[in-house]
Structure formats: structure tokens, C-alpha cells
Amino acid sequence: MDQYHYIIGVATYPATSKKAGKFYMKYFIKYSKEVLEEIILVETMVRNKMWPTTYEEALKGTKHIKIINNFNGLLIAARINQTTLHHFITDFEVEEKFFSEIVELANKVESQKKLLDESKISFEF
């Protein structure tokens, strides 16, 4: 069975907004398990102490170079924009609107806020 992976970026409206402090979805990326396996492979090659490989060389062997580069851009944008990233996995394909509604509901429903808290990705540079 295929798995679908989703990363969403969640931001908070600024204090000057009519929706100050409320969550909204800022980023959305959908990818497959195959892409995830390639990301892990690239990361492993780059971190290999015995046979170090540059990031550029490691990417040359992948079929999904564009989406992998999108991840890098997303990480940088999230850090700059103080946006939290969240990872979800489903056994069926889900539309972007579904995640947008989760984020919107997190402003009102504690269980949806908890879902966002549990799906949060921690990342470092």
C-alpha cells in the first residue's frame, strides 16, 4: 500500500491583524515514500564520514532532485518566517484543503491543536 507524506507550514497572524494570534497554513508539500527514501539516502551519503560526498554529488543520483531542493527552501523559509513545520502520513491521498481545515480548527478545537503539536517537526541548521 502506498503512503503519502505531507509537510505543512503553520504560521500565526501578526498582532496588527484582525485575526491576531490565530493559526493559518502557509506552506504545503506532498510527496511519496519513494521520495522520502531518496532524501534519507542523500542525507546518509552526505553524513558518511568514511566516504564523504558533497550534497550536489549525492543529489545527482536521485530522480526527485526538484522536490528535495524544495525541502531545503522550505526549511530556510520556515526559519526566516518563524513558521512551524508539521509532518503527516496517510494511506490515501488527501487534498490541501483538508490540512488547511485542520489548521483553522486548531484555533478553536483543542484536539486539533494537539494534533498540530504532535505532528511538529523540529529542525536545526
The count of residues in the chain is 125
pLDDT value, residue 123 = 66
Q: What type of residue is 66? A: K
Starting at the edge strand found earlier in the chain, the sheet holding 23-32 runs: 23-32, 4-12, 84-90, 120-121
pLDDT value, residue 124 = 60
What cell was used for 40?
534519507
- Beta carbons of 55 and 42 less than 8 angstroms apart: yes
pLDDT value, residue 33 = 83
What cell was used for 111?
484536539
In DSSP terms, 28 is beta-bridged to 8
107 by Cβ neighbours in 10 Å (0-12 / 13-18 / 19+) ranks as middle
Q: Where in the chain are the domains? A: 4-12+31-94+105-121
Q: What is the pTM of this model?
A: 0.77
- Could you list the mean pLDDT of each consecutive 10-residue stretch along the chain, which spans 125 residues? 87 90 90 84 87 84 77 85 91 93 94 93 68
d(CA 83, CA 93): 24
